[in-house]
A and B are shown apart, each in its own frame.
Chain A
Amino acid sequence: MNPLDVVLWVVVPYVAMAVFVVGHYWRYRYDKFGWTTRSSQLYESRLLRWGSPLFHFGILAALGGHVVGLGIPTSWTEAAGIPEHAYHVVAVGLGAVAGIGTIAGLAILIYRRRTVGPVFSATTRNDKLMYVLLTTTILLGLSNTVLGNFVGEGVDYRHTVSPWFRGLFYFSPKPELMAEAGLGYQLHALSACALFAAWPFTRLVHVFSAPLGYFTRPYIVYRSRTPQLGSRATARGWDRVGSSRR
């Protein structure tokens, strides 16, 4: 086995995953105030009205596609009686639609960010880095789908990329599988690793704030102001009488 393959397909993904997980934990502990979408709708909404839903719904569909494509082994779909060809047609079709929607939305959003003065001046260096990583990853992913299926012959990622990806999660990495996958898939995976490593430190953290709890909570939230008295936490050894020991 080529040592480079081990670095690229074992070390790099695990490092990215570790940074992703620990980074989010750290950011949530340390920087709740900075955890926001930082919406720019106040500055401009005409372009945003098209770009943002296109991008977000597109990327959510793409996420679903990745969960199915990477997470479900071929043997399962075969057991369910879905022919390989049918699966492929559906995957490519939906993937292309989602990908094109995402790219179109992203293009509108980047155009907006560059040309609308207030939006541009609210863009930080962190945002720019995030845009580069995100756009690269999405473009590489879409090009794999388009080039692989409409132009050239498709690489069977369900027998290379997917088992490699799953292997990472049950701690039996198979770097040789990824080494066989095409260059397009390799680049997509690497840029995704970079994106995931940067994720916790960018505004992308808002993904983890998807407000699903809104469906179950009562409309009006009542809160007592007692849990923390004033602006500082109680000093150690000065807990109030009757407070729980946790």
Chain B
Amino acid sequence: MRLMAQMGMVMNLDKCIGCHTCSVTCKQAWTNRSGVEYVWFNNVETRPGQGYPRTYEDQERWKGGWVVGRGGRLQLRTGSRLRRLMTIFSNPVQPSMGDYYEPWTYDYDTLLNAPVQEHTPVARPESMITGKPMKVEWSANWDDDLGGAPELTQADPVLRKISAEVKEKFEQTYMFYLPRICEHCINPSCAASCPSGAIYKREEDGIVLVDQDRCRGWRMCVTGCPYKKIYFNHRTGKAEKCTFCFPRVEVGIPTVCSETCVGRLRCMGIVLYDADRVLEAGSTPDPQDLQDAQRSLILDPEDPEVIRAARRAGIAEDWIDAAQRSPIYALINRYQVALPLHPEYRTMPMVWYIPPLSPVVDALTETGHDGEEAGNLFGAIESLRIPVEYLAELFTAGDTDRVTRVLRKLGAMRSYMRDLNLGRPAQESIAEAVGMTGRDVEDMHRLLAIAKYEDRYVIPTAHSEHGPGGEEYASGCSLDYDGGPGMGGPDGGWGPFGETSGGTTPIAVENFHMLAQRQTTDTIAAPRDKSQRVNLLNWDGKGAPERLFPRRDGEARPTDEPTGGGTQPGEPGSLDHDPTSGDPEPRP
């Protein structure tokens, strides 16, 4: 047994309202840069829908993930290593910009500098790739909230797998949201595809990262990842991906997407797993058994045997403790209500999902039934086969029973807790009907419905002896890094081959320079003719000092001689000619 710790996440889809706050804050934190305009480390998809990039789940086309080859051996869907190297000069299945979208901005100058005119000026969209005017035809969330349905939804690869009858009914039924980040897989196919060996899995917490100094831009990882969560930075020519906000996680705070989630639907924690059995689990013949194989990899942190193995593997006591309190272990293995996204890709993803139940309850209530009564609810889950089939294609490789089992547990939790909330005696039979105890149901309710911050996020810090180096730590000077202060920033920081060359700059330093630049070089805050303007802060309101108003065209220029009689001593207008008067404008 080779025991390793793995960071993971569970998202409770019942609570996702599709507000995209996670996407926006993630973008602000990580991909608000040139070259990654189209990159969303976190995105929220409406299901049914095509996803981002379009139809990425169609692995017949995009060739992501692993397959079981001849002799039951696990191999990448793109074939052998030699085959990948032979296609290195032109990757046959790399999504193009059109499969994501061409990022654009608007010609705001036209609005800001428009003269007085009869017609309202229009800011036309401009491509951020070519700088030319463009027609906006697609974006990361073009089919948000079923926009463009049913035409656009028909291209959904998940929907195409399920029967025609279901398809017809689907758009009348309901939709739900699916927030996605990198899965930080236990058996990452992106890392296996990388010819340079630049993508690695961290031994300590299993976070999958791209070494920007070793990536050579061969692009095989983009194809290798079945979730299409590796993006190519077209400016630097390097692959980039979700970092699981490692600088934050290392100091014990949750990722930006989790922290800012208004629905509080994300749980983060660690699990302990047996790295020796990963290959065996990934080679499970029946894809529907893959999630059980993955569950069996994840070890019980209360088991004394496991604790001993963890200590032998050098895992610290606070990490073992965190594994025991881990919300994701509870949801994945103890209550078994979380399901992996597309286990059939065989990458052993570590971002799991609790399938949505709410629409079932709402649908029941609309028909006049008591939507939260256990009997009604269980019956409804069975009969509302449409979403279950769709969910099964997403989370269980098509096995509806496993989804139903989870939905029944969620339904049981609602019924059981309702009795408690209404002051009725608890019905242990409801919990028993789904193989749980009342105590379990209450614990699960606390985690999912009350969802306290400290219950949702159990993140052990990277070790204190490593601590002071943690990038986001306030102790120590953030400018004191290899190369020294002043090395970063837009002017001084580039290597001789433009902005993409030279060493990487710590995020704290980049932020520092960005703020400094914003505060110092904005032309509106420091107009060229500032020295000639009247300083209104020093003006006593009497009279109209010279240059209080801008000159009209054709008006005679007053003399600019310093000895000229244009300004009387003591007149406020003279103040800004005085070199000693100082600059009352706040300076950064």
Chain A residues packing against B (C-beta within 8 Å)? 30-45, 48-49, 52-53, 55-57, 117-118, 121-122, 124, 126, 201, 206, 209, 211, 213-215, 217, 219-226, 228-233
Contacts and interface: CB of A to CB of B under 8 A. Distances in A.
A43 B211 CA distance: 24
B199 interface: yes
Contacts of A118: 97, 127, 129-130
Nearest to B505: A231
28 contacts: A31-B495, A32-B213, A32-B503, A33-B495, A33-B500, A34-B502, A36-B217, A36-B238, A37-B217, A40-B234, A41-B96, A42-B234, A43-B96, A43-B129, A56-B89, A118-B97, A118-B130, A126-B497, A126-B498, A211-B196, A211-B197, A214-B195, A215-B81, A222-B203, A223-B200, A224-B204, A230-B469, A231-B471
Given A43-B129, A45-B94, A221-B200, A232 B469 contact: yes
Interface string B88-121: 1111101011000000000000000000000000
B346 to A, nearest CB: 13
Given A118-B130, A211-B218, A223-B200, A41 B237 contact: no
A117 B129 CA distance: 9
Which 10 A-B pairs give the minimum distances between C-beta atoms? A230-B469, A34-B501, A229-B469, A211-B195, A38-B237, A232-B481, A36-B237, A219-B192, A32-B213, A231-B506
B130 A33 contact: no
Chain B, interface residues (CB within 8 Å), range: 35 or more
B216 A211 contact: yes
A150 to B, nearest CB: 29
Contact of B96 (A34, A37, A44, A121): A44
B466 A117 contact: no
B97 A42 contact: yes
B245 to A, nearest CB: 14
Given A43-B97, A121-B130, A229-B468, A49 B232 contact: no
B4 to A, nearest CB: 8
A57 B188 CA distance: 30
Nearest to B275: A222
Q: Is the interface of A mostly helix, strand, loop or mixed?
A: loop
A66 B223 CA distance: 35
B511 to A, nearest CB: 13
A230 B216 contact: no
Nearest to A232: B481
Interface string B247-288: 000000000000000000000000000000000000000000
A85 to B, nearest CB: 34
Nearest to A45: B96
Nearest to A234: B469
A215 B80 CA distance: 10
Nearest to A224: B203
B489 to A, nearest CB: 16
B504 interface: yes
Nearest to B238: A36
Contacts, number: 170
Given A221-B191, A232-B480, A33 B502 contact: yes
Contact of B216 (A30, A35, A55, A225): A35
Contact of A33 (B192, B194, B219, B503): B503
Contacts of A206: 216-217
B201 A220 contact: yes
Given A32-B214, A209-B196, 12 more contacts: A32-B213, A34-B502, A45-B90, A52-B90, A118-B97, A211-B197, A214-B81, A214-B85, A221-B194, A224-B202, A230-B470, A231-B482
Contacts of A36: 215-217, 236-238, 500
B131 interface: yes
A165 to B, nearest CB: 28
Contacts of A40: 234
Contacts of A224: 202-204
A32 B91 CA distance: 23
Given A43-B97, A117-B132, A31 B497 contact: yes
B187 interface: yes
A118 B37 CA distance: 14
Contacts of A222: 200-203
Given A219-B191, A220-B201, A53 B90 contact: yes
Interface string B435-475: 00000000000000000000000000010001011110100
